[in-house]
Amino acid sequence: MQVKSEQVQTDITLYTLVNDNGMEVSCLNLGGVITKIMAPDRNNNIENVVLGFRNLDDYKQNPTYFGALIGRVAGRIQGSQFELDNEVYSLEANNEENHLHGGSHGFHAAIWDVAPFENADEVGLKLSHFSPDGEGGYPGNLQVNVTYTLNNKNELAISYQANSDHKTALTLTNHSYFNLSGNLKNDIKNHKVTLNSSKFVELDAELIPTGKQLSVENTVFDFQLGRQIIDGVKSDYDQNLNAGKGYDHYFLFDHTRPEQAIVEDQQSGRKLIVTTDQPGMVMYTSNSLDDSLELLEGPSKQHLGICLETQASPASLHHEGFPSVILNKDETYTAKTTFTFDVIK
């Protein structure tokens, strides 16, 4: 078990967590971006299973949020504003008329303070960031701490903790795009996904929640027993078409199983298991990716990765009955999501 570090630019450092199985997780202090995850297939071939840029400078823009920590609020906030205690807070409109992923200067663009740690059973990084009152339009001075931990069970745990001196809106996530084929050999359309979810959130044409929670029954959103992504790509259901032929939807977890999501690639034999205490997850199947980005293994393309954005729901700022993103003054926000890299037995 070890942590390697390399200063790649004046203010940017690349850290690599290595476990005793040869699995590696690489991360930048810029945006807490996970640039690479090297994980074994069924034959113990270790290959990269996330999308990342070939050139470091592309992470400074990172319009796709590859691998980044997202905040203050992950997802879209309708009309770029919300109300708290009869006061309206206006945010940057960086996604048409709406606010997306904390704005253009969100946590994905911040230089985080990083403290590596190593012990016999695990290695990791403690990342911390201070967001001042009013940054991005959000109220409250906010201290955020995120810990990435890799152990010898091939588990990557991401733990979040935050405190604010003013009531505010907050839900954090990591925006890695997974592709279990290894080194982007194939797209993710044949990846099989199983979700512990019987409801998802309806979206309008701008990908803004309508306020309705829909049953997955008898739709291509029913992943309870497992389903391939291609079912949603080929579907003519308006919810898939709104998302750009695929999924970009919030699934509410039932929390009736230990694991909330499982992704499998039959060809490589890789399996990714997601456990989390979060109430739901946005599953995004990179519907809007085109061939304009230069990735480590070649050009980007549609449906090349799947994001598993565990979080609460920003729809709660405008609609009743959704998992809240409100953090009260002096309350501690905590969340944890674990990604286990396994193989299909």
Q: Select which of 108, 175, 191, 303 is catalytic.
A: 175
97 is catalytic: no
CA distance 333 to 89: 20
CA distance 67 to 65: 6
What residues are paired with 87 via a beta bridge?
84
Q: Say what the pLDDT of residue 300 is.
A: 97
Q: Say what the pLDDT of residue 71 is.
A: 98
166 is catalytic: no
pTM, two decimals, is 0.97
Q: Say what the pLDDT of residue 92 is.
A: 96
For the chain, the domains span 2-343
Q: Are 158 and 148 in contact (CB under 8 A)?
A: yes
Chain centroid, CA 33 distance in Å: 11
* Ranges of the chain whose pLDDT falls below 50: none
Q: Say what the pLDDT of residue 194 is.
A: 98
CATH number for the region 2-343 comes to: 2.70.98.10
Backbone conformation region of residue 244, classed left if phi is above 0, alpha if psi is from -120 to 50, else beta: left
Q: Say what the pLDDT of residue 12 is.
A: 97
Counting beta carbons within 10 angstroms of the beta carbon of residue 139, is it exposed (0 to 12), middle (13 to 18) or buried (19 or more)?
Answer: buried
Q: Say what the pLDDT of residue 138 is.
A: 97
CA distance 314 to 81: 11
The 10s digit of each residue's pLDDT in 240-254 is 999 999 999 999 999
The 10s digit of each residue's pLDDT in 202-243 is 999 999 999 999 999 999 999 999 999 999 999 999 999 999
Q: Are 292 and 220 in contact (CB under 8 A)?
A: no
Q: If you search the block for the tokens 């069924």, which residue do you land on?
A: 42
